[in-house]
Amino acid sequence: MIGRLAQPVAKLARAIITIFLMVTAVFVLLRNAGDPVTVFLGPDATPEMRTAYTHQFGLDRPLLEQFLAYFDNVLRGSFGRSYVDHREALLVVIDHLGLTLILMGTALALAIIFGLFAGVLSAVFRSTLIDRFLTVASSVGLCVPAFFLALILMLVFAIQLKLLPTSGADSWRNLILPATTVAAASSAVLARYTRTAMIDALESPYVLAARSRDIPAWRILIHHALPNAAVPILTVLGLLVGGVVTGSMVVETVFSWPGMGNLFITSIGSRDIPVVQAIVILSGTAMILSNLAVDVLCILIDPRARRV
């Protein structure tokens, strides 16, 4: 029992250390990214205005004192007040979080559906025309940058064919292009890893033994090959969350999707440090925890992973 729990506990400890280092790095980098007072008030602000604004947001305190207060606030779920909105930064982010979760959830679902289907199909029909086509398609999906694919899809389906809107979040039709753009690279990665894992599983002795017993091919695929290819596929799924998060940041800007990505770019331009750090910390923590969940799940379902 202790051996079964040792590795998940070790991974949890590493995740906590990673989150601490990320929180520290966010503070240091953003505090050295420029003077938010100058950006917000402009170069013509009077010294009295600058002093009042600096004191209001605690920017006149020693850096170590600012860091300790910042870290204490983060532990309590507070990221300070927005320099622009003057509300709690977390509340500003939450206002945009729902639309980002809708975009990310849709994109991740599309990536899983098409990535798994393409990977399994490519492995089953290995070295055929279907396999070559899917391999080329996945390579293209990996190579094309998200912003370029977004512009191409917008040009074809929104401007030329006039089938879908170019921006906004008024209906489900506005979701199609951004979700497809975000899902493209992730589904390509998943397809390639699924293909490799499935080929290894289909060539394993237990599958060959199942074939010798005249078990139907679909049962061999579902009950023998897929479960044994699950660990590498799950590992990739954990990494895909990070790709979906970063992809959403770019795509939201291109399609004017009013989510966290749009807010992130706007906040960087206005040096709204509390909002920027809230977005970075929440996104980074989500990525770290998703990878931790996948690692622990792999350990629990595959005893071999406990020795890694």
Encode the chain (308 residues) as per-residue pLDDT tens digits. Answer: 455 566 667 777 888 888 888 888 888 887 776 666 666 666 677 777 778 777 776 777 787 888 888 888 888 888 878 878 888 888 999 999 889 989 989 999 999 999 989 988 888 888 889 889 988 888 888 888 888 888 899 999 988 888 888 888 888 889 999 999 999 888 988 998 888 888 888 777 777 777 777 777 777 777 777 777 777 787 787 778 777 877 788 888 889 888 888 888 888 877 788 888 888 888 888 888 887 887 777 776 665 555 54
Cβ neighbours of residue 261 under 8 Å, at least 6 residues apart?
100, 248, 249, 250, 251, 252, 253
Q: What are phi and psi of 88, to 5 degrees?
A: -60, 135
| C-alpha closest to that of 254 among 149, 138, 184, 137 | 149
Region 89-307: CATH code: 1.10.3720.10
DSSP state, 62? -
3-state secondary structure of 168: coil
Residue 40 pLDDT: 63
Length of the chain: 308
The domain limits of the chain are 89-307
pLDDT per position as a tens digit, 67-116 = 888 888 888 888 878 878 888 888 999 999 889 989 989 999 999 999 98
pTM, full prediction: 0.79
Helix locations, 33-172, DSSP H: 36-41, 47-56, 63-75, 89-124, 129-143, 146-153
Residue 5 pLDDT: 60
DSSP state, 31? H
CA distance 4 to 194: 27
Q: Calculate the CA dihedral of residues 83, 84, 89, 95 and round it to 10 degrees.
A: 180
